[in-house]
Amino acid sequence: MSTDPSTRGMWRVVAQREASVQVRQKSFRWSTVISVLGVVLFVVGLHWFQGRDQDRTVAVTDPEAAAIVSTAADVARATDDRVDVESEQYDDVESAEAAVRDGDADAALLLTTTGWEVVGDRDVDSTLSSALTSAARTAALEANASAQDVDLTALEQGAAVGQRLLDPTADESGTRQAVSFVFVLLFFLTAIGFGMAIAGSVTQEKESRVVEILAAAVPIRQLLWGKIAANTVLAVGQVVLYAVAGVAALLATGQRGVLDVIGTPLLWYVVFFLVGFVALASLWSVAGSLASRQQDLQSTTLPAQMLVMGPYFLAVLGGEQLKTIFSMVPVVSSMMMPARMAETDVPWWQVAVALAGTVLAAVVLVRIGARVYERTLLRTGDKISYREALRLAE
């Protein structure tokens, strides 16, 4: 950075100009609005999907079967309070089976010579099947015990089986995985969007020769700091806006419990995004300075794109061990670690290693990027390779 007092703060002017240009673009405003709406719709959709009642209809042909279905409804409700089971009376077995085949009933409970059978079309919901089986067995045991003059209550003494969870948050796994995916997706889209904007802006100024005018008035490093600062503020601002929208949607839909689960990972997500984006912003800026035309950006931005796309596919397709390892790799950790924290409890030392490594990588990348940027920004003609750029920075 320049030591000349008259130019030392010029990066702020560059940052203000860069930010104002971005904010005035309709594409920026619309993408922000659409993304915020997407976050809100995701939260509302998740609430609807998890909270919706699951009505199940069972076709029966006699009052005894209807009584068993009534008992099964209580069993199913104890297993999942969203499941509501009711019976529908039909005249005969053929009518009951036709109702199942036509989709008017989810299953049929029919009497056989050896007991009862649950009839489905292609399959039967596991909760419904288990509840009907349990209720039918209990009804048969009670009838047999009464016929044999056996005290069923005494016979079942000590046979109760309870359940205790070592991990009481296991039922939150679906929500955690969904939030983890959203973390990764938003990081991917935001980093790619702002990254290509940085690279495209640098190349456009270089191609139009505007950069020569800017460089005559502002030190080149000040131009770099300004671009990084402006886009980092805008990118982090968008992420914070997404977080606020998500929290507001959770509170509005009464999902305070979900907020208790993801609140801490959400704060860490913002922190990791800030550090990770600074590191990536330097690469995007360098990618723009290496290109001579907009068409060159496809190849010059490839390393930065791989640093973003690799963790995205790893987070979606990778196993637990791979996620654990890569969540502590510098820069990559800025996407992987918050996603892991949303899914499960992560030891504090792993979080510290991931954050410290990314901070160090950001410092190194920005310093190297500044040297490359200074030596390549004003060079025109053919596209500059990374190997040549590093040689120039020595």
SS (H, E, C) 49-105: HHHCCEEEEEEECCHHHHHHHHHHHHHHHHHCCCEEEEEEECCCHHHHHHHHHHCCC
pLDDT attached to residue 320: 84
Q: What are phi and psi of 111, to 5 degrees?
A: -80, 135
State the Cα–Cα distance between residues 74 and 46, nearest whole angstrom.
26
How many whole angstroms separate alpha carbon 333 and alpha carbon 272?
Answer: 8
pTM for the structure as a whole: 0.70
User: What does the pLDDT look like over 12-22, one tens digit per residue?
Assistant: 888 888 888 88
Q: What is the per-residue pLDDT for 291?
A: 87
d(CA 276, CA 355): 9
Closest-CA residue to 345 (of 185, 219, 111, 167): 167
List, for residues 203-236, the tens digit of each pLDDT value.
888 888 887 788 778 888 888 888 889 999 999 9
Amino acid at position 151, single letter: D
Please report the pLDDT score of residue 1 as a whole number.
43
Residue ranges of the chain with pLDDT lower than 50? 1-3
What pLDDT does residue 169 have? 53
pLDDT number for residue 271: 93
Query: In the block, which residue shows the tokens 């053919």?
Result: 382
